[in-house]
Structure 1
C-alpha cells in the first residue's frame, strides 16, 4: 500500500510522520486490497492564537474509497479519532462484501 502524507500550512516533524505511517500500515490487517491512502495534516484558524489540528484520511480500494476527517487540539488526537473511524468504515464495508 502506498501512503502519501501531505502537510498544509506547516512542516511536520519526523516523529509525527513516522506515527502516521506506522498506523496506516496496520490498515492492511482489516482490508487486503487497499491500493493507496492519502493523509492530509492541516492547521486551521492560522490567524488566531488557537490553532485546530485537522486530519483527513482518504483510502482507495478497488471500486470504492473511504474518507474521514477529524479535528482537535493535537495531531495525534485527531489522527487517532480519524483512524478509528476509518477502521470502522473498512470493517463494515468488508462485512457487506462477504455477506
Structure 2
C-alpha cells in the first residue's frame, strides 16, 4: 500500500505526518486490496473557523473511494475522513461479495 501525503500551501509538521501514517496503516485491517492512499490537506479561508480540509483517496481494484472533510484542525478532519472511508471500504467489500 503506497501512501502519499500532500500539504497544499503550508508546511505540515512531522507530528501530523506521523499521525496520518499511523492511522492510514489501520486501513489494511478493513481491506487487503488497497493499493494507494492519497491524502491532500489544505487551509481554506484562513480567517474562518473550520478551515482545514482533508481530501482522502483510496484506490482499490476497479474503484477509487474519495472522502473530503473540513474541521477546525487537520487531525480532526483526518479522523472524520478516516471514519467515513472505513464505512465506504466496508460497503465496497459487501458489494463485491454479493
TM-score (norm 1): 0.94
Helix, strand or coil for the counterpart of 1:26?
A: helix
RMSD: 1.2
Match of 1:80 in 2: 79
Match of 2:60 in 1: 61
Shift of the alpha carbon at 1:95? 1.0
Unaligned runs of 5+ in 2: none
Match of 2:9 in 1: 9
Match of 2:45 in 1: 45
Number of residues of Structure 1 aligned to a counterpart in Structure 2: 98
| Cα separation, 1, equivalents of 2:28 and 2:12 | 24
Match of 1:21 in 2: 21
For the 8 Å contact 1:45–1:51, the answer to whether it is kept is no
| Cα separation, 1, equivalents of 2:48 and 2:63 | 39
Unaligned runs of 5+ in 1: none
Distance 1:91 1:51, change over 3 A: closer
Shift of the alpha carbon at 1:5? 0.1
